[in-house]
Structure 1
């Protein structure tokens, strides 16, 4: 099992200026900080080979491409995790 505790980030200004579509055309700056609130991620192997994702809703799928949550779907694709 892998458990990750990540501090949440709060952006005050320039929230979109760190994206390539913006900074390739304009100058950008971002002012942000982390706060004393955290997001926890737990990764555990499932016995049936499927994928279960819990956030404000629960998804149970057979492959990462079926996951509706875009950040989770792309994170699994980036790490080449195909299930279980």
Structure 2
């Protein structure tokens, strides 16, 4: 099999684009919840804990919270990538 040459910058650019794409997708989902409930997640979380459980709201809460956590994780991963001094490729 012929070897494929890829520069470190090409790998980093690909990883950045992949993460940015995920962030955009998750941001879109978060925006849908913000429009549906006309509030940010923190406000919604306070409201939902203060009243009787409604299935749809609870279901949305769990999903919205997962999107919030994914968003934070991906933003952190992008920062790590931007601050990386070295990159190591592990054969899979």
Which range, TM-score by smaller chain? under 0.3
Higher relative CO (Cα under 8 Å, sequence separation at least 6) belongs to 2
What TM-score does the superposition give when structure 1 sets the normalisation length? 0.22
Instruction: Determine which structure has the larger helix proportion and give its number.
Output: 2
Normalized per residue, the structure richer in strand is: 1
**Length-normalised TM-score, structure 2:** 0.21
